[in-house]
Every structure is written in C-alpha cells, then in structure tokens.
Amino acid sequence: MNQNVIEVNQSSFQQHVIQRSHQAPVIVDFWAPWCGPCRMIGPVLEKLAREYNGRFTLAKVNADHNPQLSAQFGIRGIPAVKAFHNGRVVDEFVGAQPEPMIRQFIQRLTANVAPPSPPRPQTSQPVNDPAARLQIARQLLREGKGCNARTQLQDFPAGAEQKSAQALLHLADFLCEAARGFANTGANDLDIAYRQAAQAVERGENATALYNLLVILNHDQQYRNGQIPKVMLGLFELLGEDDPLTQAYRQPYAHAMA
C-alpha cells in the first residue's frame, strides 16, 4: 500500500477518517478477506487512489475485526464504500460496481479538490519572480487565506501572468473580507448566500460557492457594486478552464450576464 491507502480500525478511525476528511476526502472501504466482491473492487479503489495521488485517501476497514464501526455506520452488507468529507458521509455505495461507476463516484467526490501543490516559501511578503508569486497566491487561495493571497497579487508586475493575477485578486478580496467578518452585510437572502459562498470557498467547497454566487448573480448583477461576476471569474481562474466545475458554471454565468 502507498501513503494514500491506509488500514483503519476502531481506535484510529477518528483521526485517520473523520479528522483527515477536513483536509481532503476519505473513502472508506468496509471489506472482509472472505468476501469475493470485496476482492473485486479493492484493487480498483487502490489503483484509483494511486492515480489521484492525494486528492483522496482510501481507508480500508476490516468489517469482521471492527464490528462497532460496522454497526455505527449501518453496514449490513459488504463491500460497503462510504465517502467522508468535512467529517461526514457525503456519498456511498454497496456491492461490487464496475470500474467506470467507481471512477464516476470518485470524480463526483473530488470535483472541487485541488491536487497537492509543491511546498511554497513561508513568507507573507511578495516574492520577486511573477510566476512563483502567482503560484504562491493560488495555493493561499486554495487554503482560504485571502488576505495573504492579496499581498502576493496587489501591484502585480506587467507580463504574461498579470491577467490571471488580476482575476485572482477579486477572489482574494472576497475571502479577505470574509475573514474580517463580512462588514456591511445584512440578513436578506442575497447577503446570506454571499456569506455562505465565502465560507464555502474557505473550506474548499467550490461547488457550493459557485451555486450561491450564481443565485446572487441571477437576482442582482449589481449586488455589492457588481462584485459577484468578478468573484466567479476569479474562481474559474483558480480552478482552471478544464475543471468540471468551471465547465458546468461557465454557461449559466454567461446566461446570467447576458
């Protein structure tokens, strides 16, 4: 097994599944050595864990050895596969499934989870190299650190990266305002959606964020001085044009702006 495939039991479940799922999704495979269907899907899950390289962790639980866990999560048949994110079950399936179905299950779970990034310099000051500066800002935004990202993106030098930096700066401003307590927002539906969108970005739940931003945009393009379209474009820039969320929300965004 590699670092993305781990064995978990009753005593380690809280740390390696519940707590770990706040950083990246964890897929739990309840199995047993005597279970034929388990032996069919186990290698598929392990292969995909290696392929996704850190975007999720596969935790294998021997159901026979951990009856309390099986009872806690209502396991009545195996294999039983449950996906955890932010400490709770968000998706699941029971029984042997073909690889394309398992792959779709994982794609749904990881759609808004960025792949691991290389280590970045531990500094709050802008670095000299624009490409490195932009990379640091992207990672800070993925971590929900809008004010720190803004430090990297303000007064960005002219060049090939400037357009991307400008788009990301609007997202950084949005997150920085959220970190400071949402000044000048009230209790109407659009204000609530605005706060929920910022909180979702902070947690890395970009699908939830884009949904709430689109709700606001469909009701009022000029909400908060027309900030919402800029924030959505910033999220698209952060995710990348090939990301499934960008592709899913580009057309609704364009329709709302028409």
Q: Are residues 102 and 134 in the same domain?
A: no
CATH number for the domain that contains residue 100: 3.40.30.10
pLDDT at 184 over 80: no
Q: Are residues 163 and 64 in the same domain?
A: no
Q: Are residues 81 and 186 in the same domain?
A: no
Give the mean pLDDT of the chain: 87
Q: Are residues 103 and 144 in the same domain?
A: no
**End residue of a domain, out of 78, 110, 142:** 110
Domain assignment of residue 120, yes or no? no
Q: Which domain holds residue 178?
A: 130-257
Residues catalogued as catalytic: 35, 38
Domain assignment of residue 119, yes or no? no
What is the spatial distance between Cα 95 and Cα 41, in angstroms, rounded to a whole number? 9
- Per-residue pLDDT tens over the stretch 47-62: 999 888 888 999 999 9
Q: Are residues 219 and 148 in the same domain?
A: yes
In this prediction, residues 205-233 reach a mean pLDDT of 91
Q: Are residues 160 and 48 in the same domain?
A: no
Nearest Cα to Cα of residue 42 among 57, 67, 60: 60
Q: Tell me, what's the pLDDT at 185?
A: 58
Domain assignment of residue 156, yes or no? yes
Q: pTM score, two decimals? A: 0.53
Q: Are residues 189 and 161 in the same domain?
A: yes
Q: Are residues 190 and 154 in the same domain?
A: yes
Q: Are residues 151 and 236 in the same domain?
A: yes
Domain count, the chain: 2
Q: Are residues 98 and 134 in the same domain?
A: no
Q: Are residues 88 and 152 in the same domain?
A: no
Domain assignment of residue 117, yes or no? no
- Residue count of the chain, please give it: 258
Q: Are residues 159 and 245 in the same domain?
A: yes
Q: Tell me, what's the pLDDT at 176?
A: 87
Q: Tell me, what's the pLDDT at 120?
A: 46
